[in-house]
Structure 1
Amino acid sequence: MIEELKSHLKTVEEFAADNLDDVEAFRIKYLGKKGILNHYFAEFKSIPKEDKKLFGQTINQLKQAATQKVEQLKAELSKVNDEKNIYGDLTRPAEPSEIGSRHPISIVKNQIIEVFSNIGFNVSEGPEIEDDWHNFTALNLPEYHPARDMQDTFFVQNNPEDLLLRTHTSSVQVRYMENNKPPIRTISPGRVFRNEDISARSHCIFHQVEGLYIDKDVSFKDLKQTLIYFTTQLFGKSKIRLRPSYFPFTEPSAEVDIYWGLKTETDYRITKGTGWLEIMGCGMVDPNVLKNCKIDPKEYTGFAFGMGIERIAMLLYQIGDIRMFYENDLRFLKQFKSIF
């Protein structure tokens, strides 16, 4: 009888099936209530005493083999059926793909670039690690000039070239003027750095877009018309005002305000109840800056302007805390999925 068990054991090990029905029939044959194994367990009491140990071991071995074979075949055939259901039906709906999103800073930067590109401004870029000449001296800020204190600077320590992290993208304009002859019409978007405390309204890292136009007979009137065009295209608001201000590299200089309005509670909050909102600084390029860049101020004049991209984005999307731009919070970023 032990030889019969060994024969069944060999049959179990060689058994194969290509469908679950055959596996179920095999299970019933060996493991069912009226199956082969129960038959041999019933015969156990009639086995001679000296053979009981070997007989019992062989029965258990057959039971384990049959059980493992059933589980193995069921798992394999179930996997095949699942894959067939997934990949075999070409009419089934596709898995929804996650839509990416641009960062709001990139969105606003691209919008600003598009507005100025439509009136002939190209885009210029420069290094973020800058030297003293391009960041300060060429812009009418010689060493020890008190206006340097307006921009708390990150300096690169222990270097012979007075390197620093640029405090504005005006340094890009200097490089552009050094390598290009008028007429010049360019905007310089980029990241800048200032040693400031981080709060809801300020950060040590932020982004600027600065514009420069140099040609013969450029006037303040040209600057104003350019700014009216820009605010109309970006904000849908054409009413602006220019308040006298001071910048070392422009003269005369002005702060630009747009009339935001007082239609909502938010309008009252962001304009402090006045309806007017400051968005940028501007002015006519100082003749000393033109001289430093080898441009004759007697032949050419020009204007420049600069704005913070974060400030514009906060206005457009009503974002109350500048730190949100840098925290990589997916809950915040996913809000811009449908914006390109």
Structure 2
Amino acid sequence: MIDKIKEHIVEVEQFTADSKEAVETFRIKYLGKKGLLKEFFAEFKNVANDQKKEFGQTINTLQKLATDKVNSLKESLDNTSESQGVYNDLTRPGEPIELGARHPISIVKNQIIEIFSRIGFNVSEGPEIEDDWHNFTALNLPEYHPARDMQDTFFIQTNPDILLRTHTSSVQVRYMENNKPPIRTISPGRVYRNEAISARSHCFFHQVEGLYIDKNVSFADLKQTLQFFTTELFGKSKIRLRPSYFPFTEPSAEVDVYWGLETETDYRMTKGTGWLEIMGCGMVDPNVLNNCGIDPEEYSGFAFGMGIDRIALLLHQISDIRLLSENDVRFLEQFRGAL
């Protein structure tokens, strides 16, 4: 009987099949309710005591081999069938291509660029790792100037003259050094400040700063430019300018847009005033023009700057600025289809 079982072991090892039906017939032959293994186990009680151990081990070997053979053949045939279904069926529809979504920062930045391009502003860019001259000194912030404390800066440890730019005004300095007036440019980009991360602030964020230098540029030109921008972006035509201080502009102002008080959200965002601060601006300080090789006796100009992140939070009603940098697909998919 043991020799007969061993013959079946050899047969199982050599068995192959090219169809699921053949595999099922093989399974029933050995592993079915009326299969050979059940018969062999039934014979166990008739085997001499000195042969029971070898008999049992041989049956177990046959059972394991038969089970493994059935499983491997089924898996092989399933893979072959799936492969043929994918590659041989020319009528099978193609795999859908998942469309991505623009990031809300990109959406708002593109909107801002498009609005200013309509009134003649080009786009200028510069390095995020900057030197002290372009980030501070040329902008009327010499060494030890107290206004430097307004921006908690990330300095490169091995070289205190090198830092992560705190504003894109450094791009404007580079542009003025390499271009003659008239100048009309906006500078979008990422900036860095050593601030505590919370729902309303982050250690890196995005800005768009604008610059216009020409003969006889006045504060009235600045106000009309900002009036056009706020109307186009927010659909709000009422703005106000409050006196403020920036080292590189004089006079300087904060720009507020009248958001209204129509909803509970409006009350919360504007703290019940209806007014919302959106940017800073001012006339370019003559010292800055001098530092960049432009004659302040012949030319004047204005500059403005705004945070793209804050505007994105406002326009899309996003409650936490950290969502903009966490790359959560569930959050980003909400902007699918946006330009």
Sort the TM-score into its range (normalised by shorter chain). 0.7 to 0.9
- SS at 1:162's partner residue? strand
Amino acid corresponding to residue 252 of structure 2 in structure 1: S
Match of 1:120 in 2: 120
Counterpart mapping for 1:90-239 below 5 A: 90-94=90-94, 96-157=96-157, 159=159, 162-239=161-238
What's the CA shift for 1:264?
A: 1.1
What's the CA shift for 1:330?
A: 3.9
Amino acid corresponding to residue 266 of structure 1 in structure 2: T
In the alignment, the residues of structure 1 paired with residue 87 and residue 244 of structure 2 have an alpha-carbon distance, to the nearest angstrom, of 68
Match of 2:18 in 1: 18
Amino acid corresponding to residue 143 of structure 1 in structure 2: E
Distance 1:17 1:188, change over 3 A: same
Match of 1:80 in 2: 80
Amino acid corresponding to residue 140 of structure 1 in structure 2: N
In the alignment, the residues of structure 2 paired with residue 297 and residue 18 of structure 1 have an alpha-carbon distance, to the nearest angstrom, of 89
The farther-off stretch of 213-222 and 1-10 is 1-10
What's the CA shift for 1:32?
A: 5.2
- SS at 2:212's partner residue? strand
The farther-off stretch of 15-24 and 172-181 is 15-24
Match of 2:298 in 1: 299
The farther-off stretch of 290-299 and 46-55 is 46-55
In the alignment, the residues of structure 1 paired with residue 86 and residue 289 of structure 2 have an alpha-carbon distance, to the nearest angstrom, of 69
The farther-off stretch of 311-320 and 124-133 is 124-133
- Gapped regions of structure 1 (runs ≥ 5): none
- SS at 1:198's partner residue? coil
The farther-off stretch of 67-76 and 178-187 is 67-76
Amino acid corresponding to residue 150 of structure 2 in structure 1: M
Q: How many pairs were matched up?
A: 339
In the alignment, the residues of structure 1 paired with residue 16 and residue 170 of structure 2 have an alpha-carbon distance, to the nearest angstrom, of 77
Distance 1:17 1:185, change over 3 A: same
Counterpart mapping for 1:32-111 below 5 A: 65-94=65-94, 96-111=96-111
- SS at 1:192's partner residue? strand
Match of 2:260 in 1: 261
Provide Cα deviations, 1:28-83, integer angstroms capped at 9, x if missing partner. Answer: 44555666667777888999999998888766665555454444333322333344
Match of 2:333 in 1: 334
Provide Cα deviations, 1:306-334, integer angstroms capped at 9, x if missing partner. Answer: 11112211211122333333344444333
Distance 1:287 1:91, change over 3 A: same
Distance 1:61 1:158, change over 3 A: closer
Amino acid corresponding to residue 15 of structure 1 in structure 2: F
Match of 1:317 in 2: 316
- SS at 1:79's partner residue? helix
In the alignment, the residues of structure 1 paired with residue 242 and residue 46 of structure 2 have an alpha-carbon distance, to the nearest angstrom, of 113
What's the CA shift for 1:234?
A: 1.2
Provide Cα deviations, 1:200-235, integer angstroms capped at 9, x if missing partner. Answer: 333332221110111222222222221122112211
In the alignment, the residues of structure 2 paired with residue 187 and residue 317 of structure 1 have an alpha-carbon distance, to the nearest angstrom, of 23
Match of 1:282 in 2: 281
Distance 1:72 1:149, change over 3 A: closer
The farther-off stretch of 41-50 and 106-115 is 41-50
Amino acid corresponding to residue 290 of structure 1 in structure 2: L
- SS at 2:266's partner residue? helix
Amino acid corresponding to residue 194 of structure 1 in structure 2: R
In the alignment, the residues of structure 2 paired with residue 144 and residue 60 of structure 1 have an alpha-carbon distance, to the nearest angstrom, of 87
The farther-off stretch of 215-224 and 75-84 is 75-84
- SS at 2:156's partner residue? coil
Distance 1:48 1:244, change over 3 A: closer
What's the CA shift for 1:293?
A: 0.9
What's the CA shift for 1:166?
A: 2.1
The farther-off stretch of 134-143 and 254-263 is 134-143
Distance 1:284 1:17, change over 3 A: same
Distance 1:3 1:319, change over 3 A: closer
Amino acid corresponding to residue 321 of structure 1 in structure 2: D
The farther-off stretch of 4-13 and 144-153 is 4-13
In the alignment, the residues of structure 2 paired with residue 62 and residue 263 of structure 1 have an alpha-carbon distance, to the nearest angstrom, of 81
Counterpart mapping for 1:242-253 below 5 A: 242-253=241-252
- SS at 1:245's partner residue? strand
